[in-house]
């Protein structure tokens, strides 16, 4: 069985809980070999974002060329893209290198509320990147921004927005319902084949730093071709729901998510993908 080579395209987190660092830890936890392309150097920690240094788009493109010209990339996760020109550079290189199995975490705000994507970049993300990706993983504020619509306040509104996002051209949408104010925290998966609801009791925890990064990186690792995963992805079946509850504190602010405990939705999406490939 060949090793999975997974690429993350994202910003950094020197505190280790989010961004490139969280993605690479997640890839390693799932047995994948991680490669990385950095879009922004972010001075952040568990308390917030202090400063952002955006990488020149040409250098982002050069990093992508370096990876794709040398390494067989089986799956790609995209996180923080920061600005319009970087979104365009990534979209162009994905197209040029015929990249498949791409998970886009539509990062717009840090957990602290600090902006990680310029408002002007959202339209470019919508038009240039969404049609090229296998899966997007927006939370409710991100979905609203992509649709230029009000924030969904009910599960029915969440369903309508998930269907609208799927119509934009991506292969699948995982809508995360953590911003709803219900006792349960529902997520919805939308694909061309149908829709599936996932629900679990809301976890009362501050260990949320890097949750979206870790989830999308795990989904990327699991969406590698079935021949590379082996056993039709069943190695993921034993992973427990509750990554947030299993997290810990490395700093004085919000804790990080456990890098070895993944939500049930990751496993189910993996198994659905395997079935579709067969």
Catalytic residue among 11, 16, 17, 210: 210
35 has catalytic annotation? no
Is 8 part of the annotated catalytic residue set?
no
Is residue 113 within 8 Å of 148, Cβ to Cβ? no
Give the active site residue among 208, 214, 223, 273: 208
Q: Which residues pair with 248 in a beta bridge?
A: 256
pTM for the whole structure: 0.82
Please, what is the Cα angle at 62 between 80 and 226, to 5 degrees? 65
Confidence (pLDDT) at 205:
63
pLDDT given for residue 111 in this prediction = 65
What CA–CA distance (Å, rounded) separates 23 from 46?
16
The active-site residue, picked from 17, 162, 177, 212, is 212
DSSP per-residue letters across the chain? -PPPEEEEEEE--TTSSSHHHHHHHHHHHTTPEEEEEEEEEEEEETTEEEEEEEPPHHHHHHHHHHHHTTS---EEEE---BSHHHHHHHHHHHHHTT--SEEE----B-TTS-B-B-TTHHHHIIIIIGGG-SEE--BHHHHHHHHT-PPP-SHHHHHHHHHHHHTTT-SEEEEE-TTS-SSB--EEEEETTEEEEE--BPP--S--BTHHHHHHHHHHHHTS-HHHH-GGGGGGTTPPS-TTTT-B-SSSSSPBPPTT---HHHHHHHHHHHHHH-
* Location of structure tokens 């199995």: 101
Q: Return the pLDDT at 207.
A: 61
208 is catalytic: yes
212 is catalytic: yes
Q: Which of 176, 191, 233, 243 is catalytic?
A: 176
Let me know if 211 is a catalytic residue: yes
What pLDDT shows up at residue 228?
44
Catalytic residue (one of 12, 34, 76, 213): 213
Looking at residue 29, its pLDDT comes to: 85
| Catalytic, out of 26, 211, 214, 273 | 211
Q: What is the pLDDT of residue 165?
A: 97
Count CB-CB contacts under 10 A for residue 139: 23
Q: Please report, for the chain, the start and end positions of each structural domain, with discontinuous segments joined by +.
A: 4-274
Q: Which CATH architecture has domain 4-274?
A: 3-Layer(aba) Sandwich (3.40)
Please list the ranges in the chain whose pLDDT falls under 70. Answer: 1, 111-113, 179, 183, 202-208, 224-278
pLDDT tens profile 189-219: 999 989 988 877 766 666 667 788 888 998 8
Nearest to 82 by CA among 61, 47, 57, 64: 57
Active site annotation includes 169: no
- Selection from 212, 220, 258 nearest residue 239 by Cα: 258
pLDDT score recorded for residue 47: 84
């Amino acid at each position: 069985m060949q090793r999975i080579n997974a690429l993350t395209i994202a910003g950094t987190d020197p505190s280790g809980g989010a961004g490139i660092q969280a993605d690479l830890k997640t890839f390693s936890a799932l047995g994948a070999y991680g490669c990385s392309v950095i879009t922004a150097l972010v001075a952040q920690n568990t308390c917030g974002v202090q400063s952002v240094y955006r990488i020149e788009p040409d250098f982002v493109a050069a990093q992508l060329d370096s990876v794709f010209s040398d390494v067989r990339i089986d799956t790609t996760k995209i996180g923080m893209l920061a600005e319009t020109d970087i979104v365009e550079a990534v979209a162009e290189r994905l197209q040029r290198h015929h990249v498949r199995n791409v998970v886009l975490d539509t990062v717009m705000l840090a957990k602290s509320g600090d902006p990680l994507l310029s408002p002007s970049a959202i339209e470019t993300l919508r038009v240039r990147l969404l049609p090229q990706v296998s899966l997007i993983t927006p939370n409710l504020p991100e979905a609203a921004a992509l649709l230029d619509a009000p924030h969904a306040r009910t599960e029915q509104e969440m369903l309508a927005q998930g269907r609208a996002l799927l119509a934009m051209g991506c292969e699948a949408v995982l809508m995360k319902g953590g911003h709803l104010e219900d006792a349960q925290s529902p997520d919805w998966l939308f694909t061309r084949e149908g829709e599936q609801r996932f629900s679990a009791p809301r976890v009362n925890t501050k260990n949320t730093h890097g949750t979206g990064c870790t989830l999308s990186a795990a989904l990327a690792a699991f969406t590698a071709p079935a021949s590379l995963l082996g056993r039709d992805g069943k190695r993921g079946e034993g992973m427990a729901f509750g990554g947030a509850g299993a997290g810990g504190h490395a700093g004085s602010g919000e804790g990080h998510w456990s890098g070895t405990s993944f939500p049930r939705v990751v496993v189910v999406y993996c198994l659905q993908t395997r079935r579709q490939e067969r």
